[in-house]
Amino acid sequence: MAENTKITFLGTGTSQGVPVIACSCAICTSSDERDKRLRSSVKIEIGGKVIVIDSGPDFRTQMLRSRTERLDALLFTHEHKDHIAGMDDIRPFNFIAGQHIQVYATERVEHALRREFYYAFGENRYPGAPELTVNRIDVEPFTAAGIPIIPIQAMHAEMPVLGFRIGDFTYLTDANYLSDSELEKILGSKVFVINALRKEKHYSHFSLAEALQIIEKVKPGKAYLTHISHKLGLHADIEKELPEGIYAAYDNLQIEI
């Protein structure tokens, strides 16, 4: 991709975030800002366009602290609440741009959006409700805001989820299984982001060891871990344990490709 791509990690935490409510562990009480993690989301800026992947419960806070002033496309990985709950807060972008926000979602995700945000759909829309146009996607490549995007099909326990490859950048969260054929779509990525929930095995997320195995197969220029729980450890300690070229992402981290 000719244009530089700027990536901002809007959130790198789990569905509960870090710190976890009522938890007094060393990670949740850490004074290191890198240990404070909002729900997972990422912003991609390329060619003057802004794409965000997932709008969880922290979406408003993420947009404010990243000083995001435009939104050209919103992509969804799957329908869990920690990835869709903040969608209502696209409304300021409606007002600023004077147009609908283009949303890209699978059939399952669209059904969840229509259920959770019923007032934004149908003939009797609530005045002031978010204005969006849902573009149905599946495993076939598509274009959003003029940017070519390749979906990566993975599994989150029994739930199908999508990762996305945008040029030399690939983002995959909330997964615990990736087939060899889908992994091939990631090969050649300069930057690969993958979820690594904790060190112990989990029924619906890659563990640290499993994420490292996937990274070894992909062999990206650099890899970043996301969707990190308080059980993975202190950020400073995680960084010391990781192989060269692999990093634990943290909120507000910005990288360029």
pLDDT tens digits for range 137-159 = 999 999 999 999 999 999 999 99
What does the pLDDT read at residue 214? 98
What does the pLDDT read at residue 109? 98
DSSP assignment, residue 37?
Answer: B
Decide: 227 and 174 in contact? Cβ < 8 Å. yes
Q: What is the mean pLDDT of the chain?
A: 96
CATH class label, 5-250: alpha beta
How deeply is 183 buried, as exposed, middle or buried, from its count of CB atoms within 10 A (0-12, 13-18, 19+)? Answer: middle
Distance of alpha carbon 191 from alpha carbon 252, whole angstroms: 17
Among residues 48, 49, 53, 74, the alpha carbon closest in space to that of 10 is found at: 53
Beta-ladder partners of 166: 169
- pLDDT higher than threshold 70 for residue 2: no
Provide the CB-side half-sphere exposure for 130 (13 A, CA).
21
Question: Which residue bears the tokens 């950048």?
Answer: 169
Kindly report the pTM of this predicted structure.
Answer: 0.96
- pLDDT higher than threshold 80 for residue 227: yes
Distance of alpha carbon 235 from alpha carbon 241, whole angstroms: 10
What does the pLDDT read at residue 216? 98
Task: Please give the average per-residue pLDDT across 181-207, as a whole number.
Answer: 97
Among residues 163, 181, 6, the alpha carbon closest in space to that of 75 is found at: 163
- Where along the chain do its domains lie? 5-250
pLDDT digits (tens, 9 = 90+) for 83-126: 999 999 999 999 999 999 999 999 999 999 999 999 999 877 88
Task: Please give the average per-residue pLDDT across 222-238, as a whole number.
Answer: 98
- pLDDT higher than threshold 80 for residue 1: no
- pLDDT higher than threshold 80 for residue 3: no
Task: Please give the average per-residue pLDDT across 20-33, as a whole number.
Answer: 98
Task: Please give the average per-residue pLDDT across 44-53, as a whole number.
Answer: 97
